[in-house]
Structure 1
Amino acid sequence: MTTQDASLECYLDVLRTQRHLSEHSLNSYRLDLLELIRMAGQQELRSLTPQHLRRFTSQLHAGGLNPRSIARKLSSWRGYYRWMIEEHGLSANPVEGLRAPKKSKPLPKALGADDAVRLVAHHASNQADVPTRCANRAMFELLYSSGLRVSELVGLDIADIQEAGHHSLGWVDLEQHEVHVTGKGNKPRIVPVGQAAMTALRDWLAVRGSLLKADPHPLFLTGRGTRMSVRLVQLRIKAHAQALDIPANVHPHMLRHSFASHILQSSGDLRAVQEMLGHSSISATQVYTSLDFQHLAAVYDKTHPRAKK
């Protein structure tokens, strides 16, 4: 056993007897430290510098190791060097202050334009109930047309109802072709409504009365005459997408992402998309520029002669 191996086993024994770690945890520490020894090669662990450790971290990241696993390894290494400082007079901890790469945020999943239009424009063959079919189409069209959150959608009321004590979170102005909503942080905004969504809304309003019961306020009603719920919208849109064989796990927020990315692809106006989504900060909207780049990259790979391998 080398001096370095003996030092490693001594440290693990300290973890076992003083910190009472389980054998599973001790094995994890051992594997992390053995990997550090492997990466150091011929160099002694006590002679490693922060530059060495930074390079090792970059190598782990480039090799596909996720940030959480890298953070765990850094923690193992940091603890070992702290022990080396306390017990063996090491002058400095080369891992101190070193952090794992930030975990990349996954891009929002958006439908392609063709699938989005097919989802909101077509009826599934199993929808024989006219009020349900009209309600679904109006809701799906409005989600995609105006980029509403599903909570904002189900909170919409009929615009012309004015009653003392009734507070509406949102309504659709059929004359101005716009929807008024109160979003996160009680922030109000007005978003345009497209012509297809307006047509679907009018078709729904023509049959809405057949479901109207106790509460006259909600724009969208269930078959029982109650306000539409977030969960029911989720179930309906998922079932509708499956019936149309759309190859994605479709949920209402996916239509909001699709709205944003398709508007941005067409206009390039990030500020307008920010206003329509109701984001308080432009940084929350900038994620859609990545989606836009994905679209451009796909076009490039498909069409540019030098992109073909």
Structure 2
Amino acid sequence: MTLPPEAERFLEGLTDLTADAYRVDLGQLAAHLAPLSLLGASLADLKSWSAALEAKGLKPATTQRKLAAAKSFYRWAWEEELLSSTPAARLRSPKVPARDSGRYLSPEQVAIIVGNCRPGRDRLLARTLFGLGARVSEVCRLGFSDLRDGQKVRVVGKGNRERVVSCPDSVWPELLEAARAAGPGAKIFGIDRRAAWQIIHDAGAANGIHAMPHGLRHGHASAAIAAGCDLQAVRHQLGHASLTTTSVYAGGGGDRSSSGDFLEIPD
């Protein structure tokens, strides 16, 4: 698919998978706008495209990802001074229904939950869930052998699929110390997912927050993307099979670094 030079320049700054997805999205936008150019689009033109996507019966998450591609492109074009303003600034994305309550936790709520956890294992559990963005079952399975050089952690996810993710600087020393204390062959936290769920739930309930471990995972994604992390980096960290799943939290592209590098982990 041939895109205008400015779009190709924009895609060069993204990871391969993100660029591949955005290439399709921008190509569809260009086809909708023709004969108008991408840089000649107005907010009304973009709203027309959004309406056309919804009329096709696409899932809200898919439409949201396509609009995220457009928003990211126009923000980049504005930053590169190719445009005097971005036509996508007031472009609204469709709401994606949350699959469970307590799914999204703000950084302020995360700080409260961490602070309410007992010092030691419970507080480290909350900080690890948020810092790694891992599923509660993945964190509960962590052992000493899963910690690797370079502050890397081997995580075993759904279908026994393995991935190696980065651990934030502020979490790594304590996690490593806990792993050494647990010893070879033992689980770092020594609890099952039900007990972990209760710890996080009770820490939130103390301040009227409906909290679950999954809320910390999604809080990781939302906070990292809001801080500028690349969608593909977040997708890898969370172990999502599809970039569309990750884009639920997104406004578009960003830096390629590990998502944990973008987080402020509460003490």
Alignment partners' CA distance in 2, 1:200 and 1:242: 26
Q: How does 1:218-297 map to 2 (within 5 A)?
A: 218-221=187-190, 228-243=191-206, 245=207, 247-289=208-250
Of structures 1 and 2, the one scoring higher in RCO (CA 8 A, sep 6+) is 2
Secondary structure of the 2:165 match is strand
Write out per-residue CA displacement over residues 119-154 of structure 1, whole angstroms, 9 at most, x where no aligned residue. 22x255xx4xxxxx4111221111100101011011
How far apart are the structure 2 equivalents of 1:149 and 1:261?
A: 15
CA-CA distance at 1:206 after TM superposition:
6.7
Are 1:157 and 2:143 counterparts?
A: yes
Residue from 89, 92, 98 that aligns with 1:106: 98
Report the equivalent of 2:127: 141
Take 1:136 and 1:146, find their aligned partners in 2: how far apart are those partners?
15
Deviations 1:163-204 (CA, angstroms, capped at 9, x unpaired) = xxxxxxxx122x421211121122211111112212332453
Q: Which runs of 5+ in 1 are unaligned?
A: 1-102, 128-132, 160-170, 210-214, 222-227, 292-309
Distance 1:231 1:105, change over 3 A: same
Task: Write the letter of the residue equivalent to 1:263.
Answer: A
SS across alignment from 1:286: helix
Shift of 1:285: 1.1
Distance 1:281 1:268, change over 3 A: same
Q: Can you list the C-alpha shifts for 1:99-137, whole angstroms capped at 9, x where unaligned? A: xxxx963277311112213322x255xx4xxxxx41112
Distance 1:240 1:206 in 2: 26
Aligned partners of 1:143 and 1:255 also within 8 Å: yes
1:115 partner amino acid: Q
Mark the CA change 1:190 to 1:216 in structure 2 (over 3 Å): closer, same or farther. closer
* Cα distance between partner residues in 2 of 1:206 and 1:184: 26
Task: Say which one has the larger Rg.
Answer: 1
Gap change, CA 1:143 and 1:176, over 3 Å in 2? same
Which digits, 9 at most, give the CA deviation of each residue in 1:68-103, with x for residues without a partner? xxxxxxxxxxxxxxxxxxxxxxxxxxxxxxxxxxx9
Identify the residue that residue 112 of structure 2 maps to in structure 1.
118
> How do 1:49-198 residues align onto structure 2 when only pairs under 5 Å count?
105-106=97-98, 109-120=103-114, 122-124=115-117, 127=118, 133-159=119-145, 171-173=146-148, 175-198=149-172
Distance across 2 between alignment mates of 1:282 and 1:290:
13
Q: 2:216 corresponds to which letter in structure 1?
A: L
8 A contact 1:110–1:254 mirrored in 2: yes
Mark the CA change 1:240 to 1:106 in structure 2 (over 3 Å): closer, same or farther. Answer: closer
Structure 2 spans left out of the alignment, 5+ residues: 1-94, 253-267
CA 1:123–1:172: 2 relative to 1, 3 Å: farther
Give the direction of change, closer, same or farther, for the CA distance of 1:123–1:218 in structure 2 (3 Å limit). same
Q: What is the aligned-residue RMSD (CA, Å)?
A: 2.9
How many pairs were matched up? Answer: 158
| SS of residue matched to 1:248 | coil
TM-score (norm 1): 0.46
